Structure 1
Amino acid sequence: MSNSRIRQVTLGTHGPQVGVQGLGCMGMSEFYGDTDEAAARQTLEGALAGGVTLFDTADVYGRGANEEFLAPFVAAHRDEITLATKFAIERTDDPHYRGVRNDPAYIRQAAEDSLRRLGTEVIDLYYMHRRDPAVPLAESVGAMVELVERGLVRHLGLSEVTGAELREAHAVHPIAALQSEWSLFSRDVERSAVGAAADLGVALVPYSPLGRGFLTGAFTDAGTDLSDGDFRRYQPRFTGENARTNAALLEPVHTIAAAHGVTAAQVALAWVHQRAQVHGLTVIPIPGTRRTTRLRENLAATELTLGAEELAELEPIADRVAGDRYPDMSSTATVRE
């Protein structure tokens, strides 16, 4: 890996300059088992030193705990980073409940709560985490625009929306970024949203570009290889027969990695960067990690170029993946496309 910092790109047509790869911070507080807080803080600092400037969180991660965890880092580096957080997914004391709210009153309160937890006066990039079709999109985006006008938010983003929804929102106010799952295993976003983003000059911020770790080869069956507190144990793609089927799909990834002397994770990330070039998109993947060793590995992937034949070998993988992204696919935008 080079010792240089990763290159910078523009987040959307009128957005800030950010590192070409960001850092997803969700796993530092929840969903992936226990976290070594000191190690996670070292990872934050290491990411910034390596040129990462887009740091991604959400109010739903740890029910606010992830935003609170990031607050000291934000305070120490406020002028150096682009801070992204999200609203829309509502949680209660019932650990199984997930609601979606897009009403203006909720949006205003969610933003103020996030600002307080993060210890900052402004959110650089504020996403609608999930779309509630029962609330007119123009009404929800209008409430987000009010936050911009009040100086509480700088740029607006959407997550897991269709191409038509992105166009509708962008007509109300410029959208800087679209965050959706995009990886060798998950290419639903290419159906309509990718084309719309390219047309509108919206940056794409892929989350889970490493397939929640499965593309790294770190585990082969979440049901047996991961701790009880890891939410991947309940992901349809990563357990039982689906996991065995999908692990076999990774053979060309490992072969290509060996040919370049890199890891499977680096191949998977390089694929996302190069796939975006095909569509004429600016892309800033946000792989999550809590360890500096994984961070260095991920950043090195920005320097890897895959050949045309290698890309062709990887092309069919997504169509052969067994199992849905989530147990209930109605929670995602794919059902509205």
Structure 2
Amino acid sequence: MTTENRIEPRQLGSIGPSVFPLALGCMGMSGMYGATDDNESIATIHAALETGVTLLDTGDFYGSGHNEILIGHALKDRRDKALLSVKFGALRSPDGGWTGFDGRPAAVKNFVAYSLNRLGVDHIDIYRPARLDPQVPIEDTIGAIADLIKAGYVRYIGLSEVGVDTIRRAHAVHPISDLQIEYSLISRSPETEIFPVLQELGIGVTAYGVLSRGLLSGSIPSTQGDFRANLPRFSGDNLAQNQRLVEELKQIAQEKGVRPSQLAIAWVLAKSKNIVPVIGARKQTQLAESLAAVSVNLSPADLTRIEEVIPQDAIAGSRYDQHQMQMLDSEK
């Protein structure tokens, strides 16, 4: 089934590319949620492109480079069908741990060289620091990416999980296409201060975590290596309370004849045409389920009812652990 001729694309901000309303997030294809199958992952990427999806989102640190190599294999004969969004800067140790962040200009240009090689491409469409490096002025990091644009290695600059001050400072150096940030029915803090500034500056949104890492679809950690087991929202009494909220979402979804995951994605799509949800599908079945959300129409009354049934302050637990939350510029 091809939907690209009847689905209206969305532009990432005033200067960014035009993309399918949903993007495919590839992080889960490199072990963050447990064991994966490279063949199924590649088949899922191919299915997404064939259905009209244009934007693939990855990070050079996903699987310590595995994710980029995987995408490179998937795009070997179809690079012209995809736009690549790549995050950089997170540092990994040989045992898979996390050792910090590097946003220095020299590091940026080093990171992009390895990404281009692993992906097997001559340019990256959107390049973005995954977090703010507190030791490096954002102007320096963005200036380095601007140099890469001049050299032809990058097309657009994006940001990820940064706050209002950082957004303004970055945009003053070079126009920003979009901010990638967690946003969902139960993670709505960007609405207060960040989204108004993005609208003012003409910056789009690529929203990840729209299913709150599976919480809104009823998925819970069940395999070894699933990082969600350490997240507050999936722990102890928090999980029990949050699952009760999800039951309310299931009831509305049942009334509309859709799955809770589709309703949650449709809610994000309906909030603003400036938002492109990033769907973390690892399998073709998950992809197909998520893509169906594009056809779910929600009225203003529907949005109000959903938000009344699941108010933002009802969720138990933060989206990351305390240490990670303190590192997020977007939460300051």
Q: TM-score, normalised by structure 2?
A: 0.94
Q: Distance in 2 between matches of 1:218 and 1:94?
A: 27
Which amino acid is 2:248 matched to?
A: P
1:21-78 Cα offsets, whole Å, 9 max, x none, are 1100000112111112221111111101111000010011001110001102222211
Is 1:229 the counterpart of 2:225? The answer is: yes
Inter-CA distance 313–102: structure 2 relative to 1 (3 Å threshold): same
Deviation of 1:94 (Å): 4.5
Which amino acid is 2:196 matched to?
A: G
Contact in 2 for aligned 1:207/1:287 (Cα 8 Å)? yes
Which amino acid is 2:53 matched to?
A: V
Q: Distance in 1 between matches of 2:168 and 2:82?
A: 28
Q: Distance in 2 between matches of 1:326 and 1:59?
A: 21
Aligned twin of 2:315: 321
Is 1:254 the counterpart of 2:242? The answer is: no
Q: Distance in 2 between matches of 1:201 and 1:312?
A: 26
Q: Distance in 1 between matches of 2:21 and 2:44?
A: 17
Q: Distance in 1 between matches of 2:141 and 2:239?
A: 38
Matched residue count = 326
Q: Distance in 2 between matches of 1:83 and 1:102?
A: 20
Percent identical: 40
Which amino acid is 1:12 matched to?
A: G
Secondary structure of 1:284's match?
A: strand
Unpaired stretches in structure 1, ≥5 consecutive residues: none
Contact in 1 for aligned 2:186/2:212 (Cα 8 Å)? yes
Q: Distance in 2 between matches of 1:66 and 1:275?
A: 30
Deviation of 1:3 (Å): 5.7
Contact in 2 for aligned 1:7/1:51 (Cα 8 Å)? no
Contact in 2 for aligned 1:24/1:289 (Cα 8 Å)? yes
Is 1:311 the counterpart of 2:313? The answer is: no
Secondary structure of 1:45's match?
A: helix
Aligned twin of 1:133: 134
Contact in 1 for aligned 2:164/2:330 (Cα 8 Å)? no
1:148-200 Cα offsets, whole Å, 9 max, x none, are 11111000000001122112111110101110000012112223221111111
Contact in 1 for aligned 2:2/2:50 (Cα 8 Å)? no
Deviation of 1:132 (Å): 1.4
Q: Distance in 2 between matches of 1:307 and 1:125?
A: 32
Summarize the alignment of residues 117-156 of structure 1 with structure 2, pairs less than 5 Å apart: 117-156=118-157
Is 1:270 the counterpart of 2:266? The answer is: yes
Aligned twin of 2:238: 242
Larger displacement relative to structure 2 (76-85 or 152-161): 76-85
Is 1:70 the counterpart of 2:71? The answer is: yes
Contact in 2 for aligned 1:164/1:193 (Cα 8 Å)? no
Which amino acid is 2:13 matched to?
A: G
CA RMSD of aligned residues (A): 1.5
Contact in 2 for aligned 1:249/1:317 (Cα 8 Å)? no
Q: Distance in 1 between matches of 2:154 and 2:2?
A: 34
Contact in 1 for aligned 2:2/2:52 (Cα 8 Å)? no
1:117-175 Cα offsets, whole Å, 9 max, x none, are 11111000001110012211111111111111111100000000112211211111010
1:87-115 Cα offsets, whole Å, 9 max, x none, are 11111124333311111111110111111
Secondary structure of 1:7's match?
A: coil
Is 1:49 the counterpart of 2:50? The answer is: yes
Larger displacement relative to structure 2 (60-69 or 252-261): 252-261
Q: Distance in 2 between matches of 1:85 and 1:67?
A: 9
Is 1:298 the counterpart of 2:290? The answer is: yes
Aligned twin of 1:79: 80
Q: Distance in 2 between matches of 1:203 and 1:8?
A: 13
Larger displacement relative to structure 2 (322-331 or 88-97): 88-97
Secondary structure of 2:77's match?
A: helix
Deviation of 1:16 (Å): 2.0
Larger displacement relative to structure 2 (66-75 or 326-335): 326-335
Contact in 2 for aligned 1:104/1:139 (Cα 8 Å)? yes
Contact in 2 for aligned 1:164/1:196 (Cα 8 Å)? no
Which amino acid is 1:319 matched to?
A: D
Which amino acid is 1:317 matched to?
A: P
Contact in 2 for aligned 1:252/1:313 (Cα 8 Å)? no
Is 1:161 the counterpart of 2:159? The answer is: no
Q: Distance in 2 between matches of 1:320 and 1:154?
A: 41
Larger displacement relative to structure 2 (304-313 or 27-36): 304-313
Which amino acid is 1:296 matched to?
A: A
